[in-house]
Amino acid sequence: MGPTAARRRIVFLDVDGTILEHGAHMAPGTPGAVRAARAAGHLVYLSTGRSAADIHPSVAEIGFDGAVTNSGALVVSGDEVVVDRPLTREAADRMIAALKGRGIRYFLQTRDGVYASDDMAELMREYAAALDAREAAGEAVRPEDSLVGLAQRTFPSADEADLTRIDKAVFVSDHAEGMDELRADLGDEFLIVPGSMPLPGGSNGEINEADTTKGSAIELLLAHLGIDAADAVAVGDSWNDIEMFQVCGVAVAMGNAHPELKELADFVTTDVLDDGIANAFARLGLV
């Protein structure tokens, strides 16, 4: 029997590729679906790889019951911090040393912001200049070419980051072997998953401590709230959503999700801009 509106659920929504396409575009039905589900008594939380300080304003203004951020390093329910587990200083130093040793560009994320290595900041400036040149020449620039708005932003230097408060890293390598190199260097203590930055060639991804995932964070939050995992719903599209799919009672993949994630889902909804969230909520009986 399918879920009904009478059953109170807790829903975890990824952001990029699930709520937003390429960092800025949202389906018209998404805000109303989230608000209607909450009005019906369901709980709706964000569950994102982004820093808590890096949530797009258009997402934040929808209104949520809380958020899992930095891929599970920080969990907030209402105004209460439920989970706050940055990397140890030793782990942060080791991760940064591996990135520098391989000449791999990186961002460092904390609960309060995002910091860029000097070579990452230079890459963003170069990419922004190339986009400007293409637009000046009359060439169309697709939304996905904007690196989710990263090229147009200015980030504080990684040298300014408090290394006792680092939650995760996002990296960009010039060559396809970058991810394998980091996995070899860092071993099983870290979880390294592919990213989705639309750069030509190379590889990019995210680094967390092995046990710090969206899934483990959701388990801690559910225990705190006294909610059974069978009543939890995960909606996502990417590699860092796998663990939350594994712990939630219902897993929903976006129509634009990676094929591997679709195989793990209980069902696949429509694409992010084709009201994928609203259609999933309707099918689940949340609205």
Residue type, 206: E
Nearest to 191 by CA among 64, 43, 91: 91
73 is a domain residue = yes
Query: Among 209, 239, 266, where does a domain finish?
Result: 209
Q: What is the mean pLDDT of residues 34-60?
A: 95
1 is a domain residue = no
Query: Among 209, 224, 256, where does a domain finish?
Result: 209
Confidence (pTM): 0.90
Alpha carbon 81 to its chain centroid, in Å, reads 19
2 is a domain residue = no
The CATH number covering residue 137 comes to 3.30.1240.10
Identify whether residues 99 and 24 lie together within a single domain.
no
Identify whether residues 141 and 279 lie together within a single domain.
no
Identify whether residues 112 and 196 lie together within a single domain.
yes
Domain count of the fold of the chain: 2
Backbone angles phi, psi at 9, to 5 degrees: -120, 160
Identify whether residues 118 and 29 lie together within a single domain.
no
Identify whether residues 62 and 109 lie together within a single domain.
no
pLDDT at 147: 52
247 SS3 class: helix
Identify whether residues 145 and 255 lie together within a single domain.
no
Supply the range of the domain harboring residue 178: 89-209
Identify whether residues 58 and 104 lie together within a single domain.
no
276 is a domain residue = yes
| Beta pairing, strands 250-253 & 267-268 | parallel
272 is a domain residue = yes
Instruction: Kindly state the DSSP code that residue 248 receives in the 8-state scheme.
Output: S
Identify whether residues 107 and 138 lie together within a single domain.
yes
pLDDT in tens, 69-127: 999 999 999 999 999 999 999 999 999 999 999 999 999 999 999 999 999 988 878 77
**Which residue would you say has higher pLDDT here, 271 or 131?**
271
> Could you tell me if 233 and 284 are in contact, meaning their C-beta atoms sit under 8 angstroms apart?
yes
Query: Among 163, 186, 209, where does a domain finish?
Result: 209
pLDDT at 81: 98
- Which token pair is 157? 């230097």
Nearest to 197 by CA among 177, 215, 174, 180: 174
Q: What is the mean pLDDT of residues 249-259?
A: 96
136 is a domain residue = yes
4 is a domain residue = no
**Which residue would you say has higher pLDDT here, 138 or 265?**
265
pLDDT at 30 > cutoff 90 = yes
31 is a domain residue = yes
Distance, in Å, from the CA atom of 131 to the CA atom of 235, rounded to the nearest integer, reads 32
